[in-house]
Structure 1
Amino acid sequence: MSADASALALGRTFHQALVSADWDGIRALLHDDATWTLPGDNTISGTAEGADAVVERARRIASYGLNFELLHILASRENMALSLHNTARREDAVLDEYLATVCRLRDGRIASIETYLSDVPGMNAFFV
């Protein structure tokens, strides 16, 4: 399998694990020293360091009832990105954001994740 086909498959596997709350599945995709950086100033912002912290961040985000609509999986020569439309609603807040979650790969697993958002203020208001 080519490097870009492997990256696309890894992206599909990551997204499926996220939407199905398969935390062990996500953990298996990560290097032990993986990181995940999110913008903003809220309960999920900053950098999660280490695979267990990355999984905990995914679990925390999902606990808010998000719908993780996959728009595209994008591959570069060595990495991949998920283009998502995340939505959620609760009595006092609505989340409706587009994002790119860029995954840097090393030896076929995720070494780091950085998320780029269309609506950082909306994210801050939702994840309080």
Structure 2
Amino acid sequence: MSPDSADPTIPERFLAAFQARDWETLRGLLADEITWTMPGTGTISGTAHGADAVVHRARHIAGQGLHTELLHILVGARGAALSLRNRATAADGRQLDEYLATVLTTRDGRITAIDSYLSDVDGMSAFFTTP
């Protein structure tokens, strides 16, 4: 690992924990003061504050039957971006098919912020809504 780049194993471990629904491991990667911002108006939109709220959001997202495909991991000086494709079908037939960048800011081996950028904000908002 270059001294000018973040630890590339953190985004790999983050995604592996999310896909395995291993919430304890996911929680261990997060700084206590973490925030996760998500655009839109859905039930997962806005900013989650704190590690417990971030895990709660991840559990909610995973609970909707989300299939996440990793396209790329891009490493920067202060973190990494995960290029992903998310797909899911709700019980009532609503579908989600979006590309996103999940940007992880890291410090001292922990994730301090997550910022999500979506290809279909309206589609995500419609999928993650309370019927």
Q: Shorter-chain-normalised TM-score: which range?
A: over 0.9
For 1:24 and 1:93, locate their aligned partners in 2 and report how far apart those are by CA, in whole Å.
Answer: 30
Correspondence 1:120 to 2:113: no
- 2:77 match: secondary structure: coil
Count of aligned pairs: 127
Which blocks of at least 5 consecutive residues in structure 1 are unaligned? none
Q: How does 1:74-113 map to 2 (within 5 A)?
A: 74-90=74-90, 91-113=92-114
Report how far residue 92 of structure 1 moved.
2.4
Tell me the TM-score normalised to structure 1 length.
0.95
Aligned partner of 1:64 in structure 2 is 64
Identity %: 56
Report how far residue 42 of structure 1 moved.
1.1
For 1:125 and 1:59, locate their aligned partners in 2 and report how far apart those are by CA, in whole Å.
Answer: 18
Q: Give the aligned residue type for 2:114.
A: I
Q: How does 1:15-30 map to 2 (within 5 A)?
A: 15-30=15-30
Report how far residue 45 of structure 1 moved.
0.3
Tell me the TM-score normalised to structure 2 length.
0.93
Answer whether contact 2:6 2:76 (CA < 8 A) is retained.
no
Report how far residue 53 of structure 1 moved.
0.4
**Runs of 4+ with deviation above 4 angstroms:** none
1:12-67 per-position Cα deviation (integer Å, ceiling 9, x unaligned): 10000000000011100010000100000011000000000000000000000000
Which blocks of at least 5 consecutive residues in structure 2 are unaligned? none
